[in-house]
Amino acid sequence: MAADRESFLSRARSCAELTIPTLMPPEGHTGTTQFTTPFQSVGARGVNNLASKLLMTLLPPNQSFFRLTIDDFDLTELGGDARGKAEEALARIERSATQEVESKAIRVPTFEALKQLIVSGNVLVHMPPKSGMKVFRLDRYVIQRDTMGNLLKIIVKESIAYDALPKEVLEALMENPEYQVDTNKKECDIYTCIRRVGKKFEVHQEVHNIMIPSTKGSYTEDKLPWMALRFIAIDGQDYGRSFCEEIVGDLKSLESLTAAIVEGSAASAKLLFMVRPNGTTKARSIADAPNGAIISGAAEDVTTLQAQKFNDFRVAQETMNTISERLAYSFLLNSSVQRQAERVTAEEVRYMAQELETALGGIYSVLSQEFQVPLVNLLLAKMQKEGKMPKFPKDTLKPQIVTGLEALGRGQDLNKLSQFLQMLQPLGNEVIASELNISDYLDRLGASLGIDTQGLVKSEEQKMEEQQQQQQMMQQQQMMQMAEKGISPAIKGAADMAQQAAMEE
């Protein structure tokens, strides 16, 4: 399967040489490999900038990047006034999932994965249940997909110390004659195979063609902890294409022009004096004379070597500036909508999502379906297993990833709720109070803002208790007023009954 990957891998390495060489090292690299240094930094700055904007949009800080929905038919079974309570409960689950993202420090490996996607177009992300996220470069795995792009098989290659292998595997290796040759090596290659079998994925690991029994397992499609991401999906191909491949012409041209200008400027900066051989001025007199000294000679005998390439350098400089502007627009370097602050408003995040959606041709939508949806499913499965959220019936709870202008779905719910209330204002406060369920409106409003309304908004039990207390206080005040006027409560009660009977007649 490595032969099918070779063309994509060589393309990724050429793109990495023009941007960030360490993202995709050359074949056979070691810890002491000296990487080539590009002459320009526009590529590296653009990759980091674009990855930062994608990270900010995919995993916005202190905000949920998804929303949970329940089907209307399921809500009708819960009761007519259950939507507000359900929205508030789902918002609480979303906040818990966001806290899981923060506690597991998923942003750091996600940023690395996004840079790999931009440069190489492919990356493999592993999110085991008990630890954080791990990122695999394209040179460390192979993949096979069907014509629809569905995952069929993944093989991952890693290095592991022999001492870390299980005991039964070490014993089996000692009996293998091929292992006797590699006894001086401290590490060996371990292969992880993930393949589709029916509607599930089977996983196991091998060392020297010996299977490790403790690593065998199976996952359903929505709970597979391996996510093979692509930046640009191509129909019928196992691997994706990168963003840098689409602008590699500008990157190569800018690299060549920058190298020519830098090397030419270094050559032009070299200062050389030429002395006429048969002139009266001696070369040693000029070489030995300190600054400000007076020597005998003629000025026309001494000249300075000049390259006379100013016009040529100017053409190259103008062309380089034009290419730099094109790359800046491609990498979204010229847009500074996002403020450099700890907290970024929802409107700015929505604007960035729209900008990414329009400028990159729907790339954000691809990442939302191939990265965000599996990540949400894994987080929800982990929370259910740990008892942090209740178990819902199958296909009842549906995570929804919204993109573009709807990047923050509950922010749009807030706008719709505000517009709905504004449209009701001409009817008057009395009509609104009589027709609108205030408690349900408050629950939905808090869910849209991402605020936990539990303990903040009064419950129905608290309202009933307050009403009872007010009625008791009013009765006590009436009794006190009657006692001050000398009217017995019994006489008052009899008079009220007589008055009521007369009204009935």
Q: What is the mean pLDDT of residues 404-408?
A: 44
pLDDT recorded at residue 413: 67
pLDDT band at 354 (very low <50, low <70, confident <90, very high): low
Comparing 109 with 342, the larger pLDDT belongs to 109
Q: What pLDDT sits at residue 405?
A: 42
Percent of the chain beyond pLDDT 70? 76
pLDDT of residue 143: 94
What average pLDDT does this structure show over 100-115?
A: 85
CA dist., res. 347 & res. 408, Å (int): 9
pLDDT at position 279: 84
What is the β-pairing status of strands 200-207 and 187-197?
antiparallel
Per-residue pLDDT at 404? 44
- pLDDT value at position 83? 61
Question: What are the residues whose beta carbons fall under 8 Å from the beta carbon of 158, sequence distance 6 or more?
Answer: 140, 189, 190, 191, 192
CA angle 230, 233, 237 (to 5 degrees): 100
pLDDT in tens, 24-81: 988 877 767 788 888 898 999 999 988 988 888 788 776 777 777 776 666 666 555 5
Task: State percent of the chain over pLDDT 90.
Answer: 19
Question: CA–CA separation, 97 vs 348, rounded Å?
Answer: 22
pLDDT band at 270 (very low <50, low <70, confident <90, very high): confident
What's the Rg (C-alpha) of the chain?
Answer: 36
CA–CA separation, 242 and 393 (whole Å): 39
pLDDT digits (tens, 9 = 90+) for 149-205: 889 999 999 888 877 777 877 777 777 766 654 556 677 888 999 999 988 999 999
- Position 133 confidence tier, pLDDT thresholds 50, 70, 90: confident
What pLDDT, on the 0 to 100 scale, is given for residue 177? 65
For range 348-352, the mean pLDDT: 62
**Per-residue pLDDT at 476:** 81
Which pLDDT score, from 0 to 100, does residue 251 have? 93
User: What SS3 state is found at 384?
Assistant: helix
Asked if residue 411 has pLDDT above 70, the reply is no
Burial of 202 from C-beta contacts in 10 A (0-12 / 13-18 / 19+) = middle
Residue pair 259/135 in contact by the 8 Å Cβ criterion:
no
Digit-coded pLDDT (tens) for 467-502? 888 888 888 887 777 666 655 555 555 556 666 666
User: Average pLDDT, whole number, for the chain?
Assistant: 79
Question: Token pair of 124, please?
Answer: 């493999």
Residue with tokens 């930062």: 52
Q: What are the residues whose beta carbons fall under 8 Å from the beta carbon of 298, sequence distance 6 or more? A: 279, 280, 281
- 0.85 surpassed by pTM: no
CB atoms within 10 A of CB 179: 18
Alpha-helix residue ranges (DSSP H) falling in 331-391: 346-359, 363-367, 373-385
Residue 409 above 50 pLDDT? no
| Residue 495: predicted pLDDT | 57
Closest CA relative to residue 440, chosen from 464, 424, 417: 417
Confidence (pLDDT) at 136: 93
Write the pLDDT tens digit of every residue in 364-402. Answer: 677 877 888 888 888 888 777 777 776 766 666 777 775
Looking at residues 282-298, what average pLDDT do you find?
86
Question: Three-class SS of residue 151?
Answer: strand
pLDDT value at position 204? Answer: 92
**Sheet holding 226-230: strands in order across?**
134-136, 122-126, 226-230
- With a cut of 50, say whether residue 337 has pLDDT above it: no
Residues in the chain: 505
Predicted local distance difference test score (pLDDT) of residue 75: 62
CA distance 18 to 12: 10
- How high is the pLDDT of residue 256? 92
What is residue 407's predicted lDDT score, i.e. its pLDDT? 46
pLDDT for the residue numbered 12: 93
> Per-residue confidence at 408, pLDDT binned at 50, 70, 90?
very low
